[in-house]
């Protein structure tokens, strides 16, 4: 085989963030930029000669070009076969499942997830290991170190591949197997959920549902599963065709970017359930009638009712949530008598626990939930879980949430995102607050008193690896909590996230939205970190 070694110079900005490497499309298109990063992954992740890898993307702008380069670098590094979704498309959870199903050595996911797409938008690469999970921190750090010293990458000439044609094609030294991106995933969903009961619900002529794929990867999955297999009326899935620029929509399922869905779910003509997913299909937003289900509540509720769903009828071994996620699920875990783990932000931190069989259900406040069926978060899976619950309990979405609050109390939650153009200023704010943490205990804050404040360090219970600096936490004596951390998925400036949580007892008045109930806590949190004083910015750029 003819492998060419192409000389290159390192780039200094290829450190993967919370989930892969994300940059502006224009940066990724610079000569050698993508190639350097891919070669750094091959160098750091081990020997892939003779191996099978999975590849696919969310269909965003530049997906096809990036895939071509991936093929030639994979071939240059001795990969034997690439399993790729038709037209280069694979959702992140479907890719995770495919890696596990095929026993592949890993996979490349070409996506910047919920970041905007198009020529002026973002591009990204996530790398999954053989367990179908995102590369652990030790590996992403090794990739970054390698990217700083790389001097050449290896390519082999690969013939053009017809990504519309299913089956195996020989492309130079590489076998490329084009698969239906939906089939294996849909079959897995049929094993986990009671399709018969859901079909009865969706086809009863009364239940009205809308799923918004936001012109991103989940459209074909949702049409096949919800409309074809479960009999939902045609048109239930909207914005169902993946487009390179997502048709100008921002594929981030949250009440701000998908406000139209929240609007459809209120007032006299409201539907019964609305849902959306993100660019690469791993996030979910669930809306009931006049009820935006907070992701922390969603996780808690799925845990509470897991036994009512076929795939989880045997119960859960344990549950995990990312640290900033509300502690609603902790109360459920306690009631179920199963352990609840608290991990840093990012799905990769759940994977060891899932592999070891210690947990079956995981979730993040950022609209991410999934289970041991995959090693990535899974948007459509969460939607099917909710449909299954509504079908077997006969309760509406809002009723299920209110029942939960009456049993466990409500963890009102919101996230304030402060956009700070100068990353050094944002880092300074975090460092300043960290330096003052020790003095905070006993201080008055938003009508309560600080009981404890610290910087979160995680020790992985399976491999003992330690991840420090994972966010600053301030606990109050009325059960409230503030968490501060810097986003690791943006491509310009810095986003300082403040997570606000307030507990309302089972008998309390549960009225109001998460942002309303935590507004006072939010202003106190901003002042505590001196954000307005140090930036001149008076209000967060986004409240979710
Ligand atoms: C955000 C979320 C985090 C999520 C990550 C990847 O990270 O907060 O919970 O795991 O995005 O999501 P950050 O560092 O910006 O807060 V996505 O859907 O890649 O796949
Ligand atoms: Co995503």
Q: In sequence order, what are the beta bridge partners of 371?
A: 361
Atom in ligand 1 nearest the alpha carbon of residue 347: 10
For residue 424, the model assigns a pLDDT of 97
> Cα(283) to centroid of ligand 2, in Å?
6
Considering only CA atoms, which of 447, 492, 440 is closest in space to residue 17?
Answer: 492
Place of tokens 């240059």: 76
Considering only CA atoms, which of 491, 490, 379, 320 is closest in space to residue 92?
Answer: 379
DSSP, collapsed to helix, strand or coil, labels residue 486 as: strand
What is the C-alpha separation between 316 and 363, in angstroms, rounded? 14
pLDDT in tens, the chain (544 residues): 689 999 999 999 999 999 999 999 999 999 999 999 999 999 999 899 999 999 999 999 999 999 999 999 999 999 999 999 999 999 999 999 999 999 999 999 999 999 999 999 999 999 999 999 999 999 999 999 999 999 999 999 998 999 999 999 999 999 999 999 999 999 999 999 999 999 999 999 999 999 999 999 999 999 999 999 999 999 999 999 999 999 999 999 999 999 999 999 998 889 999 999 999 999 999 999 999 999 999 999 999 999 999 999 999 999 999 999 999 999 999 999 999 999 999 999 999 999 999 999 999 999 999 999 999 999 999 999 999 999 999 999 999 999 999 999 999 999 999 999 999 999 999 999 999 999 999 999 999 999 999 999 999 999 999 999 999 999 999 999 999 999 999 999 999 999 999 999 999 999 999 999 999 999 999 999 999 999 999 999 999 9
* Domains of the chain, earliest start first: 3-179 (3.40.120.10), 184-408 (3.40.120.10), 410-543 (3.30.310.50)
> Cα(12) to centroid of ligand 2, in Å?
25
> Do residues 343 and 359 make contact, with C-beta atoms less than 8 angstroms apart?
no
Which ligand approaches the C-alpha of residue 483 most closely?
A: 1
> Cα(91) to centroid of ligand 2, in Å?
9
The catalytic position among 91, 113, 147, 480 is: 113
DSSP, collapsed to helix, strand or coil, labels residue 341 as: strand
Say if strands 106-110 and 52-57 run parallel, antiparallel, or are unpaired. Answer: parallel
Atom in ligand 1 nearest the alpha carbon of residue 485: 16
What is the C-alpha separation between 377 and 91, in angstroms, rounded? 11
CA distances to 71, 121, 194, 248, 480 from 22, rounded to whole Å, are 20, 10, 37, 19, 33
Q: Measuring from each residue's beta carbon to the nearest atom of ligand 1, which residues come in under 6 Å?
A: 18-19, 113-114, 278, 282-283, 322, 345-347, 364, 366, 368, 487-489, 497
| Ligand 1 site-directed mutation target among 368, 370, 497, most atoms within 8 Å of CB | 368
Q: Is 113 a catalytic residue?
A: yes
> Cα(122) to centroid of ligand 1, in Å?
14
pLDDT digits (tens, 9 = 90+) for 442-455: 999 999 999 999 99
For residue 267, the model assigns a pLDDT of 86
| Ligand 1 site-directed mutation target among 345, 365, 374, 490, most atoms within 8 Å of CB | 345
| Ligand 1 site-directed mutation target among 15, 16, 18, 413, most atoms within 8 Å of CB | 18
Q: Could you count the other beta carbons within 10 Å of the beta carbon of residue 13?
A: 10
Q: What percent of the chain has pLDDT over 90?
A: 98
For residue 1, the model assigns a pLDDT of 66
> Do residues 107 and 374 make contact, with C-beta atoms less than 8 angstroms apart?
no
Atom in ligand 1 nearest the alpha carbon of residue 322: 9
> Cα(156) to centroid of ligand 2, in Å?
31
For residue 80, the model assigns a pLDDT of 97
Atom in ligand 1 nearest the alpha carbon of residue 346: 10
Atom in ligand 1 nearest the alpha carbon of residue 495: 15
> Cα(532) to centroid of ligand 2, in Å?
31
């Amino acid at each position: 085989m003819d492998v060419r070694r192409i000389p290159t110079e390192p780039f200094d900005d290829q450190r993967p963030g919370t989930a892969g490497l994300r940059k502006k499309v224009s940066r990724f298109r610079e000569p050698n930029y993508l190639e350097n990063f891919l070669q750094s992954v091959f160098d750091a992740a081990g020997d892939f000669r003779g191996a099978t890898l999975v590849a696919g993307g969310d269909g965003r702008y530049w997906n096809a070009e990036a895939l071509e380069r991936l093929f030639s670098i994979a071939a240059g590094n001795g990969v034997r076969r690439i399993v790729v979704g038709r037209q280069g498309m694979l959702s992140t959870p479907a890719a995770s499942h495919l890696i596990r199903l095929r026993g592949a050595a890993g996979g490349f996911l070409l996506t910047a997830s919920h970041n905007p797409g198009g020529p002026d938008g973002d591009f990204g690469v996530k790398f999954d290991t053989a367990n179908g999970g995102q590369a652990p921190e030790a590996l992403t750090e090794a990739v970054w170190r390698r990217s700083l010293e790389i001097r050449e990458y290896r390519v082999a000439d690969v013939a053009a591949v017809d990504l519309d044609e299913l089956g195996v094609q020989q492309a130079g030294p590489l076998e490329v197997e084009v698969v239906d991106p939906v089939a294996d995933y849909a079959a897995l969903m049929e094993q986990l959920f009671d399709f018969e009961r859901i079909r009865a619900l969706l086809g009863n002529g009364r239940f009205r549902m809308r799923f918004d794929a936001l012109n991103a990867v989940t459209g074909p999955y949702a049409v096949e599963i919800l409309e074809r297999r479960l009999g939902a009326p045609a048109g239930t899935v909207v914005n169902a065709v993946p487009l390179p620029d997502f048709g100008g929509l921002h594929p981030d399922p949250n009440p701000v970017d998908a406000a139209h869905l929240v609007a459809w779910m209120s007032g006299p003509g409201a539907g019964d359930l609305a849902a959306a997913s993100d660019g690469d299909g791993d996030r979910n937003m669930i809306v009931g009638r006049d009820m935006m289900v907070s992701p922390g509540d969603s996780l808690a509720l799925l845990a509470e009712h897991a036994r009512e769903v076929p795939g989880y009828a045997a119960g859960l071994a344990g549950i995990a949530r990312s640290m900033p996620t509300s502690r609603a699920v902790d109360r459920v875990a306690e009631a179920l008598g199963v352990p609840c783990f608290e991990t840093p932000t990012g799905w990769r931190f759940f994977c060891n626990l899932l592999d070891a069989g210690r947990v079956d259900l995981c979730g993040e406040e950022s609209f991410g939930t999934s289970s041991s069926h995959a090693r990535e978060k899974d948007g459509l899976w969460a939607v099917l879980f909710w449909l299954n619950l509504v079908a077997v309990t006969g309760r509406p979405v809002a009723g299920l949430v209110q029942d939960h609050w009456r049993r466990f109390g409500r963890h009102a939650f919101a996230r304030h995102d402060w956009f700070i153009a100068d990353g050094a200023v944002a880092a300074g704010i975090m460092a300043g607050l960290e330096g003052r943490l020790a003095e905070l205990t006993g201080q008055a804050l938003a009508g309560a008193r600080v009981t404890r404040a610290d910087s979160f360090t995680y020790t992985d219970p399976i491999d003992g690896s330690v991840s420090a600096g994972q966010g600053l936490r301030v606990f109050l004596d009325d059960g409230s909590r503030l968490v501060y951390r810097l986003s690791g998925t943006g491509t310009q400036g810095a986003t300082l996230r403040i997570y606000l949580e307030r507990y309302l007892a089972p008998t309390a008045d549960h009225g109001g939205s998460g942002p309303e109930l935590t507004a006072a806590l939010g202003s106190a949190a901003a002042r505590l970190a001196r954000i307005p004083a140090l930036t001149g910015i008076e209000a967060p750029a986004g409240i979710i």
